[in-house]
Amino acid sequence: MKRFLKITAMAVIATGIFSSTSCELLNNGKLSEEEVAAGLKEALKHGSDSSTTRLHKQDGYLADATIKILLPQEAQTAVSAVDAVVPGLSTQLVTKINRAAEDAAIEAKPILWNAIEGLTIQDAFTILQGNDDAATVYLRSKTYDGLYNAFQPKIQNSLQTVGAQQLWTQFSTTYNNIPFITPIPDNLAAHVTNKALDGLFVYVAKEELKIRTDVNARVTDLLKKVFAQQ
């Protein structure tokens, strides 16, 4: 086994794939390639599960100021004008678009897990020795399009179900009827989908940082072993 690890370390040094620290870990027999890959997959699955479960709950988005979804930028100037005509309409609308995002959050789990299962040994070492958000950056690059395609119809349906699209139509129509203004769009789904995904990856990054820096967050022996080597 030691001979195998030594040969493996020499090979990866020659190809320049892994850092010297990663090679040293292999050469010393502290970790096998399989353990590194399995540990990273376990960490990412744990983080994605925690993130989607948290966001899928009521107020998962709405009560968190860092990810709360606001109205599109082009509508910000319309808020006071519309609320003057229909008091409180903008507040109701913000609540409902966040409810739509919370409803859709559960759709992320199978897509994230599928990307995690595709993690290669090279990916694992790059992530392990990377920045504190290296795993999150990897997941975002591999899943964003798939997540968008899964979220968008779900959010569109949720916007209708919770009454957000109807309120937005009322909001945009009220504003667009004001003379001499630049009309705002009457469809919310794309805006809410993008902001919902931004919020999802904020939480995935938080979970990753927790596992990297807090020994108490490493809930299995494998996670303790892999992340202790950073």
Residue 112 confidence class, pLDDT cut points 50, 70, 90: very high
Residue 23 has pLDDT above 80, yes or no: no
Amino acid in the structure at residue 208: E
- Given this model, what pLDDT does residue 70 score? 93
Q: Do 172 and 92 fall into the same domain?
A: yes
Residue 172 confidence class, pLDDT cut points 50, 70, 90: confident
* 219 in Cβ contact with 203 (< 8 Å): no
Residue 22 has pLDDT above 50, yes or no: no
Single out the residue of 124, 137, 131 nearest to residue 39, CA to CA: 124
Q: Do 90 and 159 fall into the same domain?
A: yes
Please, which residues have CB within 8 angstroms of residue 199's CB and are 6 or more apart in sequence?
55, 61, 64, 66, 67, 69, 101
Q: Do 210 and 116 fall into the same domain?
A: yes
Residue 178 half-sphere exposure toward CB, CA atoms < 13 A: 18
Q: Do 44 and 150 fall into the same domain?
A: yes
Single out the residue of 206, 146, 188, 162 nearest to residue 58, CA to CA: 162
Q: Do 24 and 116 fall into the same domain?
A: no
pLDDT, tens digit, 9 for 90 and up, residues 75-111: 877 888 888 888 888 899 899 999 999 999 999 999 9
Q: Do 1 and 113 fall into the same domain?
A: no
Q: What is the largest CA-CA distance in the chain?
A: 79
Q: What are phi and psi of 157, to 5 degrees?
A: -65, -40
Residue 212 has pLDDT above 50, yes or no: yes
Tell me which residue range forms the domain holding 120.
37-227
Structure-token pair, residue 57: 């709950």
Distance (Å, whole) CA 87 – CA 55: 29
- Given this model, what pLDDT does residue 229 score? 59
- Given this model, what pLDDT does residue 123 score? 87
Say what percent of the chain tops pLDDT 90. 36
Q: How many domains does the chain have?
A: 2
pLDDT, tens digit, 9 for 90 and up, residues 38-72: 888 888 898 899 999 999 999 999 999 999 999 88
Single out the residue of 204, 189, 112, 202 nearest to residue 151, CA to CA: 189
Cα-based distances in Å from 105 to 117, 175, 176 = 20, 30, 31
Please, which residues have CB within 8 angstroms of residue 13's CB and are 6 or more apart in sequence?
20, 23
Residue 167 has pLDDT above 90, yes or no: no
Continuous segment of H or E residues that includes residue 53: helix 33-56
- Given this model, what pLDDT does residue 30 score? 66
- Given this model, what pLDDT does residue 5 score? 32
* 105 in Cβ contact with 55 (< 8 Å): yes
- As a whole number, the mean pLDDT across the chain is 81
Structure-token pair, residue 82: 């519309």
Q: Do 143 and 57 fall into the same domain?
A: yes
Residue 4 has pLDDT above 50, yes or no: no
Over range 183-209, report the average pLDDT: 89
pTM of the model: 0.78
Structure-token pair, residue 9: 């370390």
- Given this model, what pLDDT does residue 24 score? 47
Q: Do 14 and 84 fall into the same domain?
A: no
Q: Do 20 and 48 fall into the same domain?
A: no
Q: Do 118 and 174 fall into the same domain?
A: yes
Residue 162 confidence class, pLDDT cut points 50, 70, 90: confident
Q: Do 18 and 76 fall into the same domain?
A: no
- Given this model, what pLDDT does residue 9 score? 35
**Could you tell me which residue, 228 or 141, shows the higher pLDDT?**
141
Q: Do 51 and 7 fall into the same domain?
A: no
